[in-house]
Copies of this chain bind each other. A is one copy, B any other.
């Protein structure tokens, strides 16, 4: 095992960048060597942007100069807005660095799907082919061997994890899936805007981008991959209903997924689906009641909490999944991938419990 991994964090001014730094500061084998925020913050201290890190991380912010950073680090995390990772990812790879990208730029395997949803032609389809989708529970061995990991989006993380066992075992009708997700406001990023202004977002709840959110093709890609793997013959790719909502909490997603049980799957099968599928997973917790799946219980923690209910009146299963969008849905999961890539124990530095209350 490497004694000390030198890492860089590009994009420290946002919430996922800040959370990366918080979690990396708890990791016993990591040295944070380079931190980049926006150009206007060069020379400032990390804690001037992230007051919680005062007296914890006291290095200065530097400009985004790839060759300079590449000399100082073994692995780099990029936590930039979509489209802004496209070039630096390719550059860091050309310097033979390990790269973990938290943006959406290398998540969608098909460059045409990327272009359709992000209105940008992907400039590096060859690099895209090397990217591994960083959902460790489903792609662990590929992540271990990868040089470039694309960390899943927050909604796809929980949606794929909650549906994977049912899809992989062909227990539900793929055409019946409806995902109604509720996200805290940190998911919208750190840039002020009227919809996230405290008096507008507090005491409020609304749906947005129904069937049109950019995480939708990512969820479909993740589930189609499982259908394809389990299918004995050709299959029709699924199109699912995804409806995100904004709720007035800081951190956390609760995703409620509905699907029709296949006619030949008995409810007896349902009860243990999660237990069987995830029995050895260190970051999956399974609860017997929907009430216990609550992002409140995992603020700051890298768990995904799951529960499933079968409704005999309608033949639906209802799955509840919860994560901290900034941890398992972004920065914690990114470190989980890092641990795999450099052969650290997968849970190293990630075992802290959530805050309660």
Contact = CB atoms under 8 A, between A and B. Distances in A.
Interface in A332-356: 351-356
A40 interface: no
Nearest to A296: B204
A270 interface: no
Nearest to A238: B314
Interface string A180-204: 1010111000111111111111111
A241 B198 contact: no
Interface in A251-304: 251-252, 254, 256, 258, 282, 285, 287, 290-301, 303
A243 interface: yes
A239 interface: yes
A352 B256 CA distance: 32
B357 A314 contact: no
Contacts of A247: 182, 205, 247-248
B198 A355 contact: no
Given A247-B247, A290-B210, A355 B295 contact: no
Interface string A151-178: 0000000000000000000000001001
Contacts of A316: 178, 211, 241
A301 B311 CA distance: 35
A202 B198 contact: yes
A207 B319 CA distance: 10
A293 B291 CA distance: 26
Contact of A355 (B22, B184, B200, B294): B22
A67 interface: no
Nearest to A193: B192
Contact of A207 (B191, B194, B249, B254): B254
Contacts of A206: 254, 290-294, 296, 320
B203 A249 contact: yes
Contact of A199 (B26, B185, B200, B241): B185
29 contacts: A25-B352, A51-B356, A52-B354, A54-B285, A182-B182, A182-B205, A182-B247, A190-B194, A190-B199, A192-B193, A192-B194, A199-B357, A202-B248, A202-B357, A203-B250, A203-B295, A204-B249, A206-B254, A207-B256, A208-B290, A210-B290, A210-B311, A211-B314, A239-B314, A241-B314, A243-B258, A248-B249, A299-B355, A355-B355
Interface of A: 15, 18, 22, 25-26, 50-57, 175, 178, 180, 182, 184-186, 190-208, 210-211, 239-241, 243, 245, 247-252, 254, 256, 258, 282, 285, 287, 290-301, 303, 309, 311, 313-314, 316, 318, 320, 351-357
